[in-house]
Amino acid sequence: VRRTSGHQWTCSDVTFHCTSQRLCEQWIHVINEQLSFHTNRPRSLLVYINPYGGKRQGRRVYEQKVAPLFHRAHISADVIVTERANHARDHLKTEAELDKYDGVVCVGGDGMFSEILHGLVTRTQADSGVDQDQPDAELVPCSLHIGIIPAGSTDCICFATVGTNDPVTSALHIIVGDSQPMDVCSVHHNNSFLRYSVSLLGYGFYGDVLSDSERNRWQGPARYDLSGVKTFLSHNYYEGTVSFLPAESNKGDPRDELKLNGKPVCLVCSQQGSTLHAQKYKNLQGQERREKANELLVIHGKFLAINAANMSCACPRSPKGLSPSAHLADGNTDLILVRKCSRLDFFRHLLRHTNKDDQFDHSFVEVHRVRRFRFQPRHHELASLEDLSEGLKKSGFSPICVTQTTCNYSTTHSSWTCDGEILPHADIQVSVHRQLIRLFARGIEEEQQQQRSVFEDLGPHLALEPSLHWTVD
Ligand SMILES: Nc1ncnc2c1ncn2[C@@H]1O[C@H](COP(=O)(O)OP(=O)(O)OP(=O)(O)O)[C@@H](O)[C@H]1O
């Protein structure tokens, strides 16, 4: 495995020459022996391909770029090409024989990753007897690693954990058995589970952009830009109360200059890795004590945007992301509150996501690293829009009434976008579950790390099963 530019990895062959056949055989023996010590490498994978993701190239990408590498690395793969939305999620939840595999791989975009996340986490909780409807439930970490082969139109999770959207690089991270722990947020409404999130929960600006773009899917990929402009011009703000439990003081600050996002050297993410289970109970007890002691902070206000960034959310358009110093696996999320301000100020704030200026350095922006939070819109939320219109239909109310209610609702409430999906409720409770999943990735590497060879990182063990060429002169 060789590093090229921009966090990309490629496959390279090494040919050893020797005059003695006996010596060559010894080499092969030793190399194979060294490889067998590297037990983190997966041997058996379950692969889901979304044939309709992105430019509909998922199947071709897997067959031409990924499968040959898995074959060379002696990894066996059971491949399922999905036939409908939620096929992968449902299969993982109920049918998949997970004991047979070392990892689950999705070939697609963020939506496909979300299916795998929900399938795997839900299955793990069900197998362990944990009720995920309970907002305080201590969720059990998933034992299988997740690999992402980017083949969607939005591949943000892959970009933020690998540093590039390249199928070969992702396949090589899977083959060498990289392991990146990752926090997962659970989202509840009134003690019932809504969704899991690993990247962005956004209310106000980002929620409105996504809702609008969903209504205009016919516009194709340009819909995100068009909805962005439209939402910016409408300049809506929403009133409500945010209450949150701040992170422990040793977890760094969202405005840390040192960006240690999930890198192997990141002490915050690697902290307590192996002793996590033992520590967890203690921490929870401490946490409950503090909450009882009213250490929840409460902020009331009018907000243009409320964002919870569980990772940097870096993407090619915003290379440092919404929260550049967010960690992937520290048990916290960065809560960014953008209060009502002028259009020009809001524009300046948005612009700073694309350059090197500090987007938090505005009087109307505040950012907190938190373990859990709740948002309550000012106007009482009677029911979700869907519940509301369903209920009205059942009770025989006229469509005019539904329209009026919807209008009222939509001017006082925004919607939450949860990793690109719209949530049906505005009043939500969010808890971060530390290191609930592991990806076949290693975070975005620093420049110095990129100078090293992947072989050095693996210590004495090699990366790939060698297709050794030897020549006897
Ligand atoms: N066979 C299928 N047919 C239709 N939809 C599917 C199929 N398989 C998966 N999906 C759904 O397609 C959605 C989008 O998939 P994916 O994230 O892979 O691609 P994308 O192009 O990045 O999507 P987006 O439209 O979100 O930009 C996912 O939410 C997934 O549930």
**pLDDT tens for each residue of 376-397:** 999 765 544 444 444 434 434 3
Ligand 1 atom having least distance to the Cα of 53: 19
Tens digits of residue pLDDT in 111-151: 999 999 999 999 999 999 999 999 999 999 999 999 999 99
Ligand 1: centre distance to CA 404 (Å) = 33
**Considering only CA atoms, which residue is closest to atom 3 of ligand 1?**
84
> Does residue 99 or residue 54 have the better pLDDT?
99
Q: Which residues belong to the active site?
A: 110
Q: Residue 53's CB: how many other CB atoms inside 10 A? A: 25
Tell whether the model's pLDDT for residue 226 goes beyond 60. yes
**pLDDT at res. 302:** 96
Does residue 413 share a domain with residue 298? Answer: yes
Ligand 1 atom having least distance to the Cα of 154: 22
CA–CA gap between residue 1 and residue 454 (Å, rounded): 6
Bridge pairing between strands 297-309 and 200-204: antiparallel
Does residue 464 share a domain with residue 398? Answer: no
> Does residue 146 or residue 446 have the better pLDDT?
146
**pLDDT at res. 250:** 65
Tell me the H-state helices in 108-203. Answer: 110-127, 156-162, 167-175
Ligand 1: centre distance to CA 50 (Å) = 6
**Ligand 1 shell residues, CB under 6 Å:** 50-54, 82-87, 108-112, 115, 152-154, 420
Tell whether the model's pLDDT for residue 95 goes beyond 80. yes
Does residue 450 share a domain with residue 422? Answer: no
**pLDDT at res. 467:** 44
**pLDDT at res. 223:** 85
ipTM confidence score: 0.96
**Considering only CA atoms, which residue is closest to atom 31 of ligand 1?**
85
**pLDDT at res. 142:** 97
Tell whether the model's pLDDT for residue 409 goes beyond 70. no
**pLDDT at res. 274:** 37
Tens digits of residue pLDDT in 242-254: 999 999 876 677 8
**pLDDT at res. 154:** 82
Does residue 138 share a domain with residue 46? Answer: yes
Count structural domains, the chain.
2
**pLDDT at res. 14:** 84
> Does residue 353 or residue 454 have the better pLDDT?
353
Tens digits of residue pLDDT in 301-318: 999 999 999 999 988 788
Query: Which of 50, 59, 80, 165, when mutated, tests ligand 1's pocket best, judged by the most ligand atoms within 8 Å of its CB?
Result: 50
Cα dihedral 291, 271, 178, 26 sign: negative
Does residue 194 share a domain with residue 144? Answer: no
Does residue 331 share a domain with residue 275? Answer: yes
Ligand 1: centre distance to CA 155 (Å) = 11
User: Do residues 432 and 217 lie in contact, with contact meaning Cβ atoms separated by under 8 Å?
Assistant: no
State the average pLDDT over residues 436-454: 79
The amino acid that residue 91 corresponds to is H
Ligand 1 atom having least distance to the Cα of 86: 31
CA–CA gap between residue 93 and residue 126 (Å, rounded): 9
Query: Which helix (H) or strand (E) element contains residue 276?
Result: helix 276-292
Does residue 159 share a domain with residue 38? Answer: yes
**pLDDT at res. 131:** 96
Q: 241: Cβ–Cβ under 8 A, 6 or more apart, which residues?
A: 298, 299, 300, 375, 376, 378
Cα angle 455, 457, 459 (rounded to 5 degrees) comes to 75
Give me the CATH number covering residue 396: 2.60.200.40
**pLDDT at res. 4:** 84
Does residue 352 share a domain with residue 208? Answer: yes
Tell whether the model's pLDDT for residue 99 goes beyond 70. yes
Does residue 190 share a domain with residue 172? Answer: no
**Considering only CA atoms, which residue is closest to atom 19 of ligand 1?**
53
Query: Which of the residue ranges 27-31, 81-85, 148-152, 167-171 would you say has the lowest mean pLDDT?
Result: 27-31
Q: Measured over all CA atoms, what is the biggest interatomic distance in the chain, rounded to whole angstroms? A: 90
**pLDDT at res. 447:** 65
Does residue 409 share a domain with residue 449? Answer: no
CA–CA gap between residue 370 and residue 68 (Å, rounded): 43
200: three-class secondary structure by DSSP: strand
Ligand 1: centre distance to CA 466 (Å) = 36
Tell whether the model's pLDDT for residue 239 goes beyond 90. yes
Tell whether the model's pLDDT for residue 472 goes beyond 60. no
**pLDDT at res. 449:** 63
Ligand 1: centre distance to CA 102 (Å) = 24
Query: Which of 112, 195, 215, 422, when mutated, tests ligand 1's pocket best, judged by the most ligand atoms within 8 Å of its CB?
Result: 112
Q: How many CA atoms lie within 13 A of 342 on its CB side?
A: 3
Q: Distance of alpha carbon 153 from its chain centroid, rounded?
A: 15
Does residue 264 share a domain with residue 213? Answer: yes
Ligand 1: centre distance to CA 111 (Å) = 6
| Mean pLDDT rounded to a whole number for the chain | 84
Ligand 1 atom having least distance to the Cα of 151: 18
pLDDT band for position 183 (cuts 50, 70, 90): very high
Does residue 398 share a domain with residue 271? Answer: yes
Ligand 1 atom having least distance to the Cα of 58: 18
Q: Which domain holds residue 398?
A: 185-434
Give me the CATH number covering residue 84: 3.40.50.10330
Q: Which residues of 329-357 are buried (b: 16+ CB within 10 A; e: fewer)?
A: bbbbbbbbbbbbbeeebbeebbebbeeee
